[in-house]
Amino acid sequence: MNNKIEKFKTSDLIDTKFVHPVKISYTQNGIDKNWEAVKSFDSVAILLYHSEKNAFILVKQFRPPVYLNDKSKLCTYELCAGIVDKDKSLLEIAREEIDDTHDINIAI
């Protein structure tokens, strides 16, 4: 995959759909602490195995947050995954994320 990234910019998140930045404050062992975090949807991840090639299959795709921190990283390699954002079983969501043009057996 060849990527040519142009007009890359950041802006403040307002009325977010998938992630929600939060500040966490707590006391640990008598010490007050603060932490920045992001709340997000649950997700499913699928480890795909190609039996004829005796190999695992990974997804290669552009991830803007990775690129934000290192412009030399145009793609990541990761598990096939999907957000749990609909009223379906985890298995149904996993199947939707997989290119099912071939006969696929899913084991949970």
So what's the pLDDT on residue 19?
86
Residue indicated by tokens 């603060």: 34
Contacts of 68 (CB under 8 A, 6+ apart): 8, 10
Residue indicated by tokens 């997000």: 40
Contacts of 30 (CB under 8 A, 6+ apart): none
Tens of pLDDT along 4-22? 888 878 788 788 888 888 8
So what's the pLDDT on residue 45?
95
Tens of pLDDT along 19-72? 888 899 999 998 999 989 988 889 999 999 988 999 999 999 999 999 999 999
So what's the pLDDT on residue 4?
81
